[in-house]
Structure 1
Amino acid sequence: MASKILHRIRRTIVKEGNEEGTQQEKTEEFPEISELVDDMEGLSTHLSGKLSFGSDPLYSNIEEMCPEEEDMVFVEHEDDYDDESLNEPRNEACSFQGGISSCNLLTRQLQESWKKSRIRIVQEKLCFEATQASVVQEGSSRYVLYTVHLIKSGRFDRNPGSITRRYSDFEKLNRLLRKLFKSHMADITFPRKKLHKNFASDTIAGRSRAFEQYLSHLYSVPEIRCSPVFLQFFYLPDLTTGQELLRSGHYKEAMGNWSNAFHLQDKLGGRDLDHQIVTLAALTVCSQELDRLKEAQEYCERALQLLEKHDQHPFLGPLLQSNIRLCWKITKDKRQSEAWLQQLQDNGLEISNLPSLKELLIKEQFV
Structure 2
Amino acid sequence: MAARILHRLRHALAGEGGREEREHGGSEAEDCPESSELEDDTEGLSTRLSGTLSFTSHEEEEDEGEEGAEEELGEPPQPTGTAAGAEDGGRCWGGQSGRSAPGCPKHCWGAPKCGSAPERGGGSLLTRQLQELWRRSRGSLAPQRLLFEVTSASVVSERSSKYVLYTIYLIRSGQFDKAPAAIARRYSDFERLNRCLRCRFACDMAGVAFPRKRLRRNFTAETIAKRSRAFEQFLSHLHSIAEIRRSPEFLEFFFLQDLRAAQRLTCTGMYREALATWANAYQLQDRLGVCSSGRFLLTLAGLAVCHQELDQLGEAHGCCEQALELLEAQGSHPLLGPFLQAHVHLAWKVGKDKRRSEARLQDLWEAGLPLQQQPTLKEYLIKEPLE
TM tier, shorter chain?
A: 0.7 to 0.9
Q: 2:290 aligns with which of 265, 270, 283?
A: 270
**Deviation of the 1:124 alpha carbon:** 2.0
Q: Relative to structure 1, is the Cα distance of residues 331 and 110 closer, same or farther in structure 2, using a 3 angstrom cutoff?
A: farther
Partner residue in 2 for 1:116: 132
Following superposition of structure 1 onto structure 2, how do residues 174-253 of structure 1 map, counting pairs within 5 Å? Answer: 174-253=194-273
Q: Relative to structure 1, is the Cα distance of residues 112 and 336 closer, same or farther in structure 2, using a 3 angstrom cutoff?
A: farther
Asked if structure 2 preserves the Cα contact closer than 8 Å seen for 1:81 and 1:113, the reply is: no
Asked if structure 2 preserves the Cα contact closer than 8 Å seen for 1:159 and 1:263, the reply is: yes
Q: Relative to structure 1, is the Cα distance of residues 324 and 271 closer, same or farther in structure 2, using a 3 angstrom cutoff?
A: closer
Partner residue in 1 for 2:16: 25
Q: 1:130 aligns with which of 150, 164, 167?
A: 150
TM-score (norm 1): 0.73
Please give the alpha-carbon distance, in whole angstroms, between the structure 2 residues aligned to 1:337 and 1:184. 46
**3-state SS of paired residue (2:229):** helix
**Structure 2: which 5+ residue stretches go unaligned?**
1-13, 23-40, 83-124
**Deviation of the 1:341 alpha carbon:** 2.2
Asked if structure 1 preserves the Cα contact closer than 8 Å seen for 2:255 and 2:285, the reply is: yes
**Deviation of the 1:200 alpha carbon:** 1.1
Asked if structure 2 preserves the Cα contact closer than 8 Å seen for 1:74 and 1:118, the reply is: no
Q: Relative to structure 1, is the Cα distance of residues 204 and 321 closer, same or farther in structure 2, using a 3 angstrom cutoff?
A: same
Q: 2:57 aligns with which of 69, 72, 77?
A: 69
Q: Relative to structure 1, is the Cα distance of residues 327 and 74 closer, same or farther in structure 2, using a 3 angstrom cutoff?
A: farther
**Comparing 110-119 with 304-313, which one deviates more in the overlay?**
110-119
Q: 1:339 aligns with which of 323, 336, 359?
A: 359
Q: Relative to structure 1, is the Cα distance of residues 298 and 112 closer, same or farther in structure 2, using a 3 angstrom cutoff?
A: farther
Please give the alpha-carbon distance, in whole angstroms, between the structure 2 residues aligned to 1:81 and 1:303. 49
Asked if structure 2 preserves the Cα contact closer than 8 Å seen for 1:226 and 1:271, the reply is: no
What per-residue deviation string (whole Å, max 9, x for no partner) do you get for residues 24-50 of structure 1? 625636999xxx9xx99xx9xxxxxxx
Partner residue in 1 for 2:100: none
**Comparing 181-190 with 123-132, which one deviates more in the overlay?**
123-132
**Deviation of the 1:346 alpha carbon:** 3.0
Please give the alpha-carbon distance, in whole angstroms, between the structure 2 residues aligned to 1:340 and 1:172. 44
Please give the alpha-carbon distance, in whole angstroms, between the structure 1 residues aligned to 2:192 and 2:309. 37
Asked if structure 2 preserves the Cα contact closer than 8 Å seen for 1:304 and 1:320, the reply is: yes
Q: Relative to structure 1, is the Cα distance of residues 215 and 354 closer, same or farther in structure 2, using a 3 angstrom cutoff?
A: same
Partner residue in 2 for 1:94: none
What per-residue deviation string (whole Å, max 9, x for no partner) do you get for residues 47-79 of structure 1? xxxxxxxxxxxxxxxxxxxxx722x58785254
**3-state SS of paired residue (2:163):** strand
What per-residue deviation string (whole Å, max 9, x for no partner) do you get for residues 137-187 of structure 1? 111211111111111121110111111111111000000000111111000
Following superposition of structure 1 onto structure 2, how do residues 351-366 of structure 1 map, counting pairs within 5 Å? Answer: 351-366=371-386
**3-state SS of paired residue (2:207):** coil
Q: 2:343 aligns with which of 323, 336, 341?
A: 323
RMSD: 3.2
Following superposition of structure 1 onto structure 2, how do residues 17-166 of structure 1 map, counting pairs within 5 Å? Answer: 25-26=16-17, 28=19, 69-70=57-58, 72=59, 77-78=66-67, 79=70, 82-83=77-78, 86=80, 113-119=129-135, 120-121=138-139, 122=141, 123-166=143-186
**Deviation of the 1:112 alpha carbon:** 7.9
1:141 partner letter: S
2:19 partner letter: E
**3-state SS of paired residue (1:318):** helix
Partner residue in 2 for 1:13: none
**Structure 1: which 5+ residue stretches go unaligned?**
1-22, 44-67, 89-108
What per-residue deviation string (whole Å, max 9, x for no partner) do you get for residues 88-140 of structure 1? 9xxxxxxxxxxxxxxxxxxxx99985553112134322111111111111112
**Comparing 144-153 with 110-119, which one deviates more in the overlay?**
110-119
Please give the alpha-carbon distance, in whole angstroms, between the structure 2 residues aligned to 1:193 and 1:327. 55
Partner residue in 1 for 2:97: none
Please give the alpha-carbon distance, in whole angstroms, between the structure 1 residues aligned to 2:151 and 2:78. 46
Alignment partner of 1:309 is 2:329: yes
Q: Relative to structure 1, is the Cα distance of residues 114 and 174 closer, same or farther in structure 2, using a 3 angstrom cutoff?
A: same
What per-residue deviation string (whole Å, max 9, x for no partner) do you get for residues 297-354 of structure 1? 1111111111111121110111011111111111111122222222333333222221
Q: Relative to structure 1, is the Cα distance of residues 176 and 30 closer, same or farther in structure 2, using a 3 angstrom cutoff?
A: farther
Q: Relative to structure 1, is the Cα distance of residues 115 and 29 closer, same or farther in structure 2, using a 3 angstrom cutoff?
A: same
Q: Relative to structure 1, is the Cα distance of residues 203 and 321 closer, same or farther in structure 2, using a 3 angstrom cutoff?
A: same
Aligned residues: 299
Partner residue in 1 for 2:120: none
Q: Relative to structure 1, is the Cα distance of residues 330 and 28 closer, same or farther in structure 2, using a 3 angstrom cutoff?
A: farther
Asked if structure 1 preserves the Cα contact closer than 8 Å seen for 2:150 and 2:169, the reply is: yes
TM-score (norm 2): 0.70
